[in-house]
Amino acid sequence: MPAPTLDRQPAGSPDEAALQQQFAATIAADRRIEPRDWMPEGYRKTLVRQVAQHAHSEIIGMQPEGDWLLAAPSLRRKAVLLAKVQDEAGHGLYLYSAAETLGADRADLTDKLIEGRQKYSSIFNYPTPSYADVGVIGWLVDGAAICNQVPLCRSSYGPYARAMIRVCKEESFHQRQGYELLMTMMRGTDEQRAMVQESVDRWWWPSLMMFGPPDDESPNTAQSMAWGIKRHTNDELRQRFVDMTVPQAQFLGVTLPDPDLAWDEESGHWRFGAIDWEEFKRVLGGQGPMNDVRIARRRAARDDNAWVVEAATAHARKHEAVPA
Amino acid sequence: MSEVTAAGGHGAVPTGPEVPVEPRPRAVRRDWPLYEVFVRGKRGLNHVHVGSLHAPDAEMAVDAARDLYTRRNEGVSIWVVRAADITASSPDEKDPLFAPSGDKVYRHPTFYEIPDGVPHI
C-alpha cells in the first residue's frame, strides 16, 4: 500500500501543459487512455484513422469468403463459413464503436469508405475463384491478422484494446477452421491437393504484404510506438508470421512459393525473398483485381437496405408515440 | 506514396494526414441513439459493460446486442441503456470526488499491524 498523502492536490483546471504531462505519464506507465481523458489531437486523429480502417477491413473482409456461402460443399462447411463471416461483421461493429468514442460517426465513416477517402486492407482486393481460398484465407490471411492484432490488445487506447481482445479470441477460430479445411483437402484427391497448392501460390505474397512496407519506409512508426498504439514494427511482425507459418506449411504438405525461403541457423529465423512492393502499391492504389467490385457491393448494401433502416426507425417512432 | 502502416489490424492501409477523420454533420442520415450494453456472464455475476451499439429503440438494441456481444454463450442476461441517460463522474482520476478515499488508508485491513503468531486474522 502506498504511503498516505495528506497534502491535497490543489484544485482548479490544469492548463494544457499539465494535461499533456498527465497524458505522457499515463502512457509511460503503460496505463490506458480512456475516451473522456484529454489526449493530443495527433493521437486522436491517428487512432481514428487506424481504428476506422481496421473496421472497414473487417466489413469488406466479409466479401471474398461470402462469395462461397452458397457454394460451400456441405452443411457443416456452410455453417462454419456463415459463423465466420458473421464474426467479421461483429468485429467491424466493435471497431466502429471504438472509433465513435473518439468522436467519429459510423455512418459517416461508411460514407468515407464508399467514397474512397478511407481505405481498407489491400488483401481483400484479391479474388476468391477457388473453394480452397476459404481455407487459405483462414490460415494465411487470418494468421497474419492475428500477428498484427495480438499486440494491439495492449494498445494504449482502452476501447480499442478491449475490442481487440474480443476480436483475437474469435480470430483463433477463424484460423483453425481454415487450417482444418486445408488438412481435409490435402487428405483428399490429387486434384484437391492441387487446388490447395494453387491457392497458396496466389495468397502467400499478398499475405506478407499485409504487414506493410519495410521499416525504413514507415516514418511514422516511431511516433505510433511512442504513443503505444503500435507495439512492433512491420518487419518484426512479418518475420514472426513467416517463422510461425513455415512449419505449418510443412505439416500441411504444401510448398510456399518462394525459392529463397531458407532456415537461418544463426538468427533462428526463416529468411524469405524480396516482396514485390510495386504490386502492393498498385492494389492499394485501386488497381487490384477486385477494388471496384468490393466498393460497389458495399455501396449497394448501404443503398439497397436503406429501407430497412427507415422501417426500423418508423417502427420505433410509432411505439414511442403510443403511451404504454 | 503516402504513409502506410499495418497498425490497422487486417493489413497495411494509408494512415497519413490526407486521410480525413472528422465527421461531416450533414452526411449523418441516421438518428438512432447510442446504447451502452451490459452483459451478465453467468448467474451470480454482475452485469458488466461490454460495448455499445446504435439501435432505433431499446427493444431492437437488446436484439442487436444479443447478436453482437453474445455469439458464444458470453451471457445469460443483457441490459441496454441509452448512453445519453448515463450520468458519470469526472474522468480526471485526481478529481476531488475521489480524494477523500485516498487519504483514509485506515479503511484497509493492511493498515493494521498484527504479529505473525496470531492465527486466523
Is B4 within 8 Å of chain A by CB?
yes
For residue A146, give the nearest of B84, B10, B35, B91 by alpha carbon: B10
Is A33 within 8 Å of chain B by CB?
no
Q: Which contiguous run of DSSP H or E holds residue B94?
A: none
Confidence at residue B2, expressed as pLDDT on a 0 to 100 scale: 65
Confidence at residue B99, expressed as pLDDT on a 0 to 100 scale: 74
Is B108 within 8 Å of chain A by CB?
yes
The contacts of residue A127 (CB under 8 Å, 6+ apart) are: A64, A289, A290
Q: Which contiguous run of DSSP H or E holds residue B73?
A: none
Please give, rounded to a whole number of angstroms, the shortest distance from the CA of B59 to a CA of chain A: 9
CB atoms under 10 Å from CB of A239, counted, come to: 19
Question: How far is C-alpha B84 from the chain's CA centre?
Answer: 14
Cα A8 from Cα B46, distance rounded (Å): 34
CB atoms under 10 Å from CB of A81, counted, come to: 21
Cα A172 from Cα A147, distance rounded (Å): 11
The contacts of residue A92 (CB under 8 Å, 6+ apart) are: A55, A56, A58, A59, A62
Residue contact A94–B51, C-beta within 8 A: yes
Strand partners, B40: B47, B77
Please give, rounded to a whole number of angstroms, the shortest distance from the CA of B119 to a CA of chain A: 22
Q: Point out the residues of chain B with pLDDT beneath 50.
A: 1, 27-28
Confidence at residue A273, expressed as pLDDT on a 0 to 100 scale: 97
Q: Looking at this predicted complex, what is its ipTM?
A: 0.84
Confidence at residue A14, expressed as pLDDT on a 0 to 100 scale: 59
Alpha-carbon separation of residue A22 from A5, A39, A217 (angstroms)? 19, 9, 32
| A109 grid coordinates | 465513416
SS3 label, residue A264 = strand
pLDDT values of chain A reduced to their tens digit, one per residue, 324 residues: 444 333 333 444 558 888 999 999 999 999 999 998 999 999 999 999 999 999 999 999 999 999 999 999 999 999 999 999 999 999 999 999 999 999 999 989 999 999 999 989 989 999 999 999 999 999 999 999 999 999 999 999 999 999 999 999 898 899 999 999 999 999 999 999 999 999 999 999 999 999 999 988 887 788 889 999 989 999 999 999 999 999 999 999 999 999 999 999 999 999 999 999 999 999 888 888 899 999 999 999 999 999 999 999 999 989 887 655
Over the stretch B5-15, which tens digit does the pLDDT of each residue have? 776 667 777 77
Number of A:B CB contacts under 8 A? 183
Pairing of strands B47-54, A269-271: unpaired
A contacts of B28 (beta carbons < 8 Å) = 105, 107-108
Confidence at residue A216, expressed as pLDDT on a 0 to 100 scale: 87
Question: How far is C-alpha A144 from the chain's CA centre?
Answer: 9
